[in-house]
Every structure is written in C-alpha cells, then in structure tokens.
Amino acid sequence: MKEQSNTLIFIDFEFSMPDGRGSSGFFPEIIEVGLVCVKDRKLMNQYSSYVRPRVFKRLSRRCRSFLNISQENVDSGITLAALVKHLSSINDDGQNTVITWGNMDMKVLKQNCEKARLSFPFTGDFVDLSMEYKRFFGDRNQTGLWKAVQEYGKDGIGNHHKALDDAMTTYHIHQLVEKDKRYLNKAEPTTIGDRIDLAKLQNLLVQ
C-alpha cells in the first residue's frame, strides 16, 4: 500500500447472525460499530456505538453468546440511518481511505444501505488490510485479525469481536506493516562480503 497523506478510517462492524438456518430472508445487520480516524499518522478520534437492527430486531441466542452483546445493548443503540449519517460526516469529501480487516464490513454496510434505501456514506478509497498482510508476507491463506497481530509478537487491543477494539487492533497492525515496508524500502543492498564468508573462501583457495 502506498503511503497515504489523507485521512485513514479504520472500521470494524459486528453483525447479527441467525440460529441454525435462520429466518426466511435473513441477512446480517450491523449491530455495533467501532472506528478510528488517523491523519498524518496521528490518531485524531475514535467512535463506538451499538446499532439497532432494522429488520430482524431480536438477536439470536448464538449472536448474543458469540459476540457477548445483549438485546438491551442493541435496543439502546443508534439507528442505521444515524450510523450512516455519522459515517457521511467523516467522509471528508472522499479524501480518505477506509481500512478494514477483510471485505465483509463494506459488503454488509452496502447491503444494509441498499435495503434501507440509504446512500452509501463513503466515496474514498478502500483497503482490505488482510489482503495487504497476506501479500506482504506471502501467506497462502488469509489470516485472522488477532492471529495476525500475535504473529507480530503483540496482543490485540481489548477484546476480540468488540468493534472498537478490533478497529484499534487493525490500526496497530497497519502501523506495524507500514513500518516494515519503510524499513525494507530504506534497507541498503548487501555487499558481496555480507553474502560470502571471505575467510572460508580464502582457505579453500589456498588448499
């Protein structure tokens, strides 16, 4: 990923999920948002909120258990329309890059907007950091968010599957990857002496 001078928006959403096969026509709805805004490598602000599901209003037992989110949490959250309005307010006329771990966050946001007949709030660039990570390290398979940060010898921020904590963890992985890229770009080429043990070569020549 090339160096960015515009605003970076790290986003993570948590989605509703069905029990078993789920209700007829079920689709995932955003029930929690966490985002971190960074400009010129400085953390500018962060935002977190629960979001009320618009269609399938009752959370499944599986969803409550897996995400540790209660029905009361989402009932007290903002509406999808309010979420989209907030995201539009930080869009900065498209002079930003939205960064997520995986491609599901933007897919579900687009689907939720379409079903609610709301305008998609972002017009900037989009980066799937999990794919950047995969290409950078030459991994064959896509790596999970918290496994990726652990491969750096670090710990994730807070609790996994907590939207703001996952957004912050994505931000930290981005920092680590960009630091490695800058190091590789600045690294001086090795000399022949670095690549060959000259003492061993000399001994071979005199034998």
Rounded Cα gap, residues 132 and 143, in angstroms: 11
Query: Which region, left, alpha or beta, applies to residue 117 given φ > 0 means left and ψ of -120 to 50 means alpha?
Result: left
Decide: 100 and 11 in contact? Cβ < 8 Å: yes
132 is catalytic: no
In terms of Cα–Cα distance, which of 34, 29, 94 is closest to 57?
A: 29
The catalytic position among 86, 161, 172, 178 is 161
Pairing verdict, β 125-128 and 42-50: unpaired
Rounded Cα gap, residues 25 and 61, in angstroms: 18
29 is catalytic: no
Decide: 74 and 53 in contact? Cβ < 8 Å: yes
Type of residue found at 22: G
* Locus of tokens 């869009």: 91
Give catalytic residues, as residue numbers.
14, 161
